[in-house]
Amino acid sequence: MTKNNEVVRFLIEAYFDGDSGKAATEAGFSKQQVEWWLNDEKKPQKNIVRRLMHAALATEFRVIVEYEAIDYPTGKPGLRGRLKELLKNHEEANGLYAFYDSMASLVYLGKSNGNLLGEVYQQMNAAIKEPIFPKGAKQPKKKCDVIRYLSAYEVLGSDVGDNAKHVEGLILRISKPRLNKNIGKLQETDV
């Protein structure tokens, strides 16, 4: 038995619920390969262990919807129904969402903690409290008066911290969307 085999066993137990098939799928190996390493039939090389570690520990982002037109419906099921359709069974996801105006410019970025549909719907209906157009121009009352496109990304969990919050803070700092009040907070780390 090698140390690499021990590391593979630990990763599969700790991060893939002891399921060699799940580990194989997420890391891009065959189930047979993983079984060989678990049973000490073959020694996994350093790059294999690194790839398995990445699959176990790295934050993963999945696109739910990207630059989809909202097409505000009238009547039932209304806006909430349209958002549910766009989020494709990811209504309870953790992650980030972005609103764009008619020129595809980012106007708002938000983070969801397990209620993506509710958060997106609430923010779309939120009032705009400060003028966004020059003085004298008709000001939109709600964010949905400006928003025309939606993007949403699931951010899978991490034991290390709130990665979605870190990504949100970085994007807010760089892009400064017009409808966000804060510019994001980046957490300092001790290195």
pLDDT digit string (tens) for the chain, length 191 residues: 579 999 999 999 998 899 999 899 888 899 999 999 999 999 999 999 998 988 887 767 889 999 999 987 766 678 899 999 999 999 998 889 999 999 999 999 999 988 999 999 999 999 998 888 899 999 999 999 999 999 999 987 655 567 777 788 888 888 888 888 877 666 665 54
SS3 18: coil
Of 31, 51, 40, the residue nearest 3 (C-alpha): 40
**Alpha-carbon gap, residue 11 to 14, rounded angstroms:** 5
What's the pTM value of the predicted model, to 2 decimals? 0.69
Distances (CA, A) of 60 to 25, 120, 175: 14, 21, 22
Q: 64 with 152: CB under 8 angstroms?
A: yes
Q: Which pLDDT score, from 0 to 100, does residue 29 have?
A: 92
SS3 150: strand
Q: Which pLDDT score, from 0 to 100, does residue 190 have?
A: 53
**Alpha-carbon gap, residue 150 to 20, rounded angstroms:** 37
Q: Which pLDDT score, from 0 to 100, does residue 149 have?
A: 97
Of 182, 143, 181, 164, the residue nearest 96 (C-alpha): 164
Beta-bridge partner residues of 100? 106, 149
b/e 117-126 (16+ beta carbons within 10 angstroms → b): bebbbebbee
Nearest-Å Rg of the Cα atoms of the chain is: 22
**One-letter identity of residue 183:** I
**Alpha-carbon gap, residue 99 to 118, rounded angstroms:** 15
